[in-house]
Amino acid sequence: MLKTDTTKKIRLNTDRLRWSAEGKKSGPVVILFVGIHGNEPAGLAAVDLIAENLNRSPRELSGSVYAITGNLGAIKQGVRYIDADLNRIWEMYNTRKDFSRINGITQPAEYSESLGIKQTIEQILAKHKNDTSEFIFADLHTTSSQSCAFILLNDTLANRSLARKFSVPQILGIEENIHGTLLSYVNNLGYKALGFEAGAHHDRESVKRSEAFLWLLMHNAGVLELNAEEFSKFKKRIRAHAGVPDTYYEILYHKLVEDPEKFEMMSGFENFDRIEKDTPLAYEEGRLIKAPKSGRIFMPLYQKKGHDGFLIVNEVSEFWLELSAYFRNSFVHALLKYLPGVSVGSKQSFEVDLRIARFLVKDIFHLLGYRVTEKDEYTLICYKR
């Protein structure tokens, strides 16, 4: 494994471990993923700029930084993925399902990519388990639509406290709608993890914003210290435009697409654009798709790979969030089983019968920090995060 400190040059390479930098003092370990989608080069460029900068002007690091390259095969071809989306298959490590066969393909390319990434994570965790108290993960992406920068996070209090340090829009609870992400896998290991989306795939600003996010992340984590001028420069660089408040957003709706070849998003939607209910949004197999709810359009699909057509998000009030933080560690959990339609699933989960339980049930479980998924038409499963 490459090893370096602030006086040694960081060596870039095109293997799984792109580079690492180790400070003389111990401290947090920051682990960065770039190129999990092969058609998103901004993150790769940004981590390389950081390495070059650290080589040119060495800084004192407390702790370590690792940059891990994602889908090596897809990056070479400049495509999102080859056989399966590398950011949707991580659930296989938590279930007994055989994922060596995905989408009818035996041993898909992304299966071995995921094994390579998993192994690298495990090596880093093993190496530092005795010299750090904190591992922080971040996964860098870009979108097919035009967008300002934003952060995606699984809704845990630890993630929230880290994410709050960045003044960009923050999307909570992505794990309820998009399954099998690398972030969820890392969260399940018990570590903080943020997704940073920098903007459109080939917008030059996306590289600049990714780089700014990385400096701020290292600063906020305590691995290095930016001076006041640098800090405000980077903060300004990732800031969203005035129409998109840098608050929390929740996901109201998720349009899944069976066959992206047959899905055509109407042109002109930018991420976070406000939409009213019934706004025409897309065509699927010639059929017009209208917005089922009012809110803001989120991650409209303008490429022919991927199954998330679009989502609709909305701002969440600060009050609701503070209330939920307060309740998460409270005694109220013990009372949940007395709600109508609620039964105890396992030690960590409840089942909700929607034929009996009425409005607000999902909200109550969210408030208390549960992850809510649909088992079938009539049943929700609520897992304690």
| Interacting residues with Zn ion (CB under 5 A) | 37, 40, 141
Q: Closest CB to Zn ion among 40 and 176?
A: 40
Q: Closest CB to Zn ion among 41 and 116?
A: 41
Q: How far is the CB of 342 from Zn ion (least distance, A)?
A: 36
Q: How far is the CB of 148 from Zn ion (least distance, A)?
A: 16
Q: Closest CB to Zn ion among 61 and 217?
A: 217
Q: How far is the CB of 44 from Zn ion (least distance, A)?
A: 12
Find out whether 222 and 63 touch, Cβ atoms under 8 Å: yes
Q: Closest CB to Zn ion among 40 and 155?
A: 40
Q: Closest CB to Zn ion among 22 and 113?
A: 113
Q: How far is the CB of 51 from Zn ion (least distance, A)?
A: 21
Q: How far is the CB of 140 from Zn ion (least distance, A)?
A: 8
Q: Closest CB to Zn ion among 37 and 208?
A: 37
Find out whether 209 and 236 touch, Cβ atoms under 8 Å: no
Q: How far is the CB of 142 from Zn ion (least distance, A)?
A: 6
H or E segment to which residue 125 belongs: helix 109-128
Q: How far is the CB of 36 from Zn ion (least distance, A)?
A: 6
Strands 192-200 and 135-143: parallel
Q: Which residue is nearest to Zn ion (CB)?
A: 141
3-state secondary structure 69-80: ECCHHHHHHCCC
Q: Closest CB to Zn ion among 64 and 210?
A: 210
Q: Does residue 176 sit in helix, strand or coil?
A: helix
Q: How far is the CB of 143 from Zn ion (least distance, A)?
A: 7
Q: Closest CB to Zn ion among 20 and 206?
A: 206
156/187 Cα distance (integer angstroms):
9
Q: Which residue is listed with tokens 């809510």? A: 372
Query: Which residue from 60, 32, 59, 25 is spatially nearest to 48, judged by alpha carbons?
Result: 32
93/341 Cα distance (integer angstroms):
32
Q: Closest CB to Zn ion among 42 and 364?
A: 42
DSSP state of 90: G
Distances in Å between the alpha carbon of 44 and those of 14, 26, 54, 80, 175?
A: 10, 26, 16, 14, 24
Q: How far is the CB of 193 from Zn ion (least distance, A)?
A: 15
In terms of Cβ atoms closer than 10 Å to its own Cβ (0-12, 13-18, 19+), residue 267 is exposed
What are the percentages of helix, strand and coil residues in the chain, rounded to 5? Answer: 30, 30, 40
In terms of Cβ atoms closer than 10 Å to its own Cβ (0-12, 13-18, 19+), residue 375 is exposed
**What are the structure tokens assigned to 4, written together?**
């370096």
- Spatial strand order in the sheet of 342-346: 342-346, 349-353, 379-384, 370-376
